[in-house]
Chain A
Amino acid sequence: MSHSRSHFWFVAPAVLLMFVILILPIFVAGIFSFTDYNLGSTDFRWIGWKNYEALGKYSSYRKMFTASLTYVVIVVPVSVLLGLGSAMLISSLRFGGEFYKAIFFLPVMATLLAMAIVWEFTLDPIVGIVNRFLEDGCSVGWFYQFFTGGWLGFNPADSWYGNICSERMPNWLGNKKYALGSISFIGIWQAFGFNMVLYLAGLMAVPRDLYAAAEIDGAKSTWETFKLVTWPMLGPTHVFVITITSIRSFQVFDTVEALTRGGPSKSTYMMVYAMYEKGVKQNLVGMGSTLTIVFLGFVLLITLTQVYFINRKVHYS
């Protein structure tokens, strides 16, 4: 046995880099989260858990949690199911699959910040194409009847569409009622193409023989085959897709920054945007660090859930 210490020297650069780049910043953020440090000031005070208490005390932070969680709860299931649905449709195509793949993947490749500007124009209350379309629809008899439920015997004026026709068109990004929905819609638009690609890969890995076996065993409907083969065989893909979409949804920032800046009245005040606003724009490093630590806690929670599922349920061999 040699007592050389050389092995320490071999791993030292990697350990040092990991420490300086990854662990140290989190550690520093953890320390700052217990202070009232402002960027530029020469000293700071230890204020204990006050920053964390503030998260529960002020309504803007409560709104932040509501907005972030609502966004995740809307975007994750819808974009995952849309991704799965479109992947199954595309994989059942005999030709043209490549075309749809490219189209649905475009939003993923585009810069979200640039796309946000396009959405801003699209959703503009006055010149936006969405409201122009809805406005024109008001004067088209059958369109108006169809979307107001008039054809089912309801009173058109009572319906949402009837209402905006007679009053005024919705301000998609400027109205508290619609802003989070609009941001979520853009989030889904952006995320589902990515999920689709992951599901396409997952579907490709399902052995063809299993479908044949299900057919021979007497599975007659597509639903039965889906239940017996497709859904369970996609188990590992589900876990991965849901985890990655959840984390990415928690991280939403570009659309908020470009379109709503957290407003109106904090209805789209997402966590990462709050981090940016407190820590960077207002120089409140202490509060920014607190938000960062809480955010990391969420991400860690999601990751641990994923590890749990991967170890337990979806690993078949």
Chain B
Amino acid sequence: MAEIQLKNISKSYGDTKVIKDLDFSIVDGEFITVVGPSGCGKSTLLRIIAGLESQSSGDVFINGREVNKVRASERDLAMVFQSYALYPHLSVQQNLMVPLKLRRLSSLERFPLLNWFLPNRRARLNDLNEKVLEAAETLQITHLLGRKPGQLSGGQQQRVAVGRAMVREPVAFLMDEPLSNLDAALRVHMRAEISELHRKLKTTFVYVTHDQAEALTMSDRMAVMMDGEILQLDTPTEIYNNPLNLQVAEFIGSPKINVLPAESDDYGQITCMGLSMSLPLKTPNKESILLGLRPEHTELLAPKSKNCFVGEIKYKENLGPDIYLHLILNEGQHKMIVRSEPGKALDVNIGDTVKIGWKEDKIMAFEKNGKSLPLKNQS
């Protein structure tokens, strides 16, 4: 229900610039994820949107209204914190009640003792109580309403925090790494639940995380942020397939993309460690370039294969459905990670020399400075 626009947002603490001239807009009802390594300024960005911190320069617009001077309590946004920030002395029910009471009741209605004499008080409170129950049912925490946060598990606390954000129907949800305090299995589960909640509520979600898996799985669009700048803002598919530069390519995808040195000739033909690639560069680049090849786009070949990378296995990582082989190429000058099905990797061992093939249409090329170079078949 809200469109959020950021125009030339900068933030510095003393001499350190944490956010550099950011410019982007969040569409109404969209689930947008800001992903980046720790310390890239993504949480600060969220707090600027929330109004908990003020920007050094630039403007924030919510639904077209400039809110630079508007306090956080008056922006009508809800926020879920990494620490959940539940009030420990209040029960779950009271925790969910806080935003409703603070926003829906006048200060007279909240005044102790005096409020007992106000007409309609009971009816008003019942209304609010119903909203709390509704939210509790959606999140399946009805049975926890009487407990204190200290008596809840991490996952339950997380639900209560989402509930507290949800009850008062804010124009947008801001989430600051809400899942990072949960264990791995629960995190995967809550990922699905939050996406489901977004589908149900159809409200704008701004979600900050350092976990690229969360970003890739949940968002409509994701912004990759590094050193206070947004490097790329696009759909998860587009960012995974066509990263604008090497930094994005290296951050998104697990394990990290393999980067190998390569050269291109006058016609854009790419050669990497003596192997020539079938797809040429769109515009020939005479300088030496870098070749990006994701582990999932490589494969283990039969020992007699030709025209392939040759490497020695240094380490074998068994994840069950996949096995990752860590190789060294060219007598240790380069490293490469290869994904293989468990069946194929059964009889290779650490120390063996193996041959590696790749999917021709999946390779990526980058300039030395990291900028992406389009290939002929790519747009």
Question: Residues on A close to B: CB < 8 A?
Answer: 207, 209-210, 212-220, 224, 228-229, 232-233, 235, 316-317
Contact = CB atoms under 8 A, between A and B. Distances in A.
Contact of A213 (B47, B81, B103): B81
B102 A212 contact: no
Most A CB contacts (10 A, CB to CB) among B51, B79, B82, B85 go to: B85
16 contacts: A213-B79, A213-B81, A215-B71, A215-B72, A216-B73, A216-B99, A217-B99, A217-B102, A218-B73, A218-B99, A218-B102, A218-B168, A229-B87, A233-B88, A316-B149, A317-B88
A216 B88 contact: no
Contacts of A235: 89
Contact of B103 (A207, A218, A228): A218
Contacts of B297: none
Given A215-B72, A217-B73, A316-B88, 10 more contacts: A210-B85, A213-B86, A213-B87, A215-B71, A215-B73, A216-B78, A217-B102, A218-B168, A228-B98, A233-B89
B53 to A, nearest CB: 9
B148 A215 contact: no
Interface of B: 47, 50-52, 71-74, 77-79, 81-83, 85-89, 98-99, 102-103, 148-150, 164, 168
B150 to A, nearest CB: 4
B72 A232 contact: no
B52 A216 contact: yes
The secondary structure that dominates the A interface is: helix
A232 B87 contact: yes
A314 B296 CA distance: 54
B87 A210 contact: yes
A219 B87 CA distance: 13
Contacts of A217: 73, 98-99, 102-103, 164
B83 A220 contact: no
A209 B81 contact: yes
A216 B83 contact: no
Given A215-B72, A233-B88, A316-B148, A209 B99 contact: no
Contacts of B88: 232-233, 316-317
Contacts of A216: 50, 52, 72-73, 77-79, 99
A220 B102 CA distance: 9
A209 B89 contact: no
Given A209-B81, A220-B73, A316-B150, A215 B52 contact: yes
Contacts of A209: 81-83, 85
Most B CB contacts (10 A, CB to CB) among A213, A214, A235 go to: A213
B85 A213 contact: yes
Given A213-B79, A317-B150, A219 B85 contact: no
A20 to B, nearest CB: 42
A219 B52 CA distance: 13
A229 B87 CA distance: 7
A280 to B, nearest CB: 47
Contacts of A210: 85, 87
Contacts of A213: 79, 81, 85-87
A208 to B, nearest CB: 9
A232 B89 contact: yes
A210 B83 CA distance: 9
Most A CB contacts (10 A, CB to CB) among B72, B78, B148 go to: B72
Contacts of B72: 212, 215-216
A317 to B, nearest CB: 4
Contacts of B103: 217-218
Nearest to A235: B89
A316 to B, nearest CB: 4
Contacts of A232: 87-89
Contacts of A212: 47, 50, 52, 72, 79, 81, 85
Contacts of A316: 88-89, 148-150
B83 A224 contact: no
B116 to A, nearest CB: 18
B94 to A, nearest CB: 10
B159 to A, nearest CB: 16
Contacts of A215: 51-52, 71-73
